[in-house]
Amino acid sequence: MNYTTQMNAARKGIITKEMDTVARKENIDVDRLRELVAAGKVVIPANKNHTNLEPEGIGEGLRTKINVNLGISRDCCNIDLELEKAKKALEMKAESIMDLSSYGKTQEFRKKLINLSHAMIGTVPVYDAVGFYSKELKDITVREFLEIIERHARDGVDFMTIHAGINRSTVERFKKNERLTNIVSRGGSLIFAWMELNNRENPFYEYYDDILNICEKYDVTISLGDACRPGSIHDSTDASQIEELIVLGELTKRAWEKNVQVMVEGPGHMAVNEIPGNMILQKRLCYGAPFYVLGPIVTDIAPGYDHITGAIGGAIAAANGADFLCYVTPAEHLRLPTLEDMKEGIIAAKIAAHAADIAKGIRGSRDWDNQMSKARADLDWNRMFELAIDPEKARRYREESVPAYEDSCTMCGKMCSMRNMKKILQGENINVL
């Protein structure tokens, strides 16, 4: 292998087996895909040590992908349950799983997850540092932070969230511009605390070149974390968010100089009318790098329903240029998600991603909808269930409310428009009584 990363191969004119796989999945010319990878507008997260990976592309002209978060915490540390969630996420065809474990020696879970998963795996190494070293945050050294990053890379993690954009300048901007919800990024708040407690620069910013060397070695894609993402619609598109975004653009170019693939993370909580402009701003300031958004959550009043607020924002964001959606579950802000919460979050995110792909004109995206519409016109219920994004729920709803006439449902009965139009157009009489 005479290349170091997917980006390095693309720039050398080499088509890797991962590029070949992604091109087939996306029905895109492989040479065009290679050009996009070379330019940094598409990433193929594929750690050299993740041997059972079925690679996916994220970025310009490709289907919108979704990510599922899971992992153990101090209050919920059942590894078997989290692995069960991972299996369900894979069954539901999620393209990515992030291990956000934040308690104890998490390497055991991470290795099991990587060995299990054919989907790409992401992590946030700063979460792992406290538990791994059994040290208070302020006592963790720069060397130890870098060791954790290399450990995750060596284990086979395909992409890592690195909060390198919150430097001393960003911190000063944050302090001068009061927020309603301060810094809500868990990783961002940990880095901010470390900086304040030690009166030092962010180690991920100061030693960014060392991190790039690790990522190049294993071909880990950097997901540049947005420490200052808004945690409420009140704080969106403020000075702290934009200051950090400018830094993330600079860090993107530095990564590309070392052939390291980059995604950029984005908001967060954001009113609907601000989302399109933010997508344009991110793409301009970060030179077209793929954009990875959490939600955005479009209103702050719906605990228990944030899979819906997130899906609304996600559809708008992706339709306006976001490439990768992090799912949001009904448990957001309330608890660690259950298996059922996770399923609802996946379905909501998949709906948002597909709706956006239709808007973006992604190849073949409308075909699925057209097939469903034909099945409805034909009153072909089994075909409708096969095509449904959640066949199990669709079939259950039908079985729970059985109509008197098989070619209708209990909503309309003999007044069903599909049924009656079909009969009339075939020259038959209809009786709606």
Structure tokens that stand for 301 in this block: 């009043």
Contact status, residue 5 vs residue 261, Cβ threshold 8 Å = yes
Q: Which H or E run contains 59?
A: strand 58-59
Could you tell me the sign of the dihedral formed by the alpha carbons of 346, 349, 353, 358, in that order? positive
Q: How many CB atoms lie within 10 A of CB 43?
A: 31
CA distance readout (Å), 287 to 39, 264, 281: 9, 10, 10
Half-sphere exposure of residue 91: CA atoms within 13 angstroms, side-chain side: 12
How many Å from the N-terminal Cα to the C-terminal Cα in the chain? 73
Sequence-separated (6 or more) residues with CB below 8 Å from residue 76: 336
- Which phi and psi (to 5°) does residue 288 adopt? 85, 10
Residue of 412, 409, 402 whose CA lies nearest to 379: 409
Binding-site residues from annotation for [4Fe-4S] cluster: 409, 412, 416
Cis peptide before 296 (omega within 30 of 0): yes
Residues annotated as binding site for substrate?
69, 98, 127, 163, 185-187, 226-229, 265, 292
Q: Which residues belong to the annotated binding site for Zn(2+)?
A: 269, 333
Other beta carbons within 10 angstroms of residue 182's beta carbon come to 15
Q: What are the tokens at 206?
A: 């100061």
Dmax (CA) for the chain in angstroms is 83
Binding site residues, as ranges? 69, 98, 127, 163, 185-187, 226-229, 265, 269, 292, 333, 409, 412, 416
Sign of the CA dihedral with 341 first, then 187, 162, and 297 last: positive
Q: How far, CA to CA in Å, does 415 sit from each of 86, 151, 337, 379, 418?
A: 44, 63, 42, 14, 9
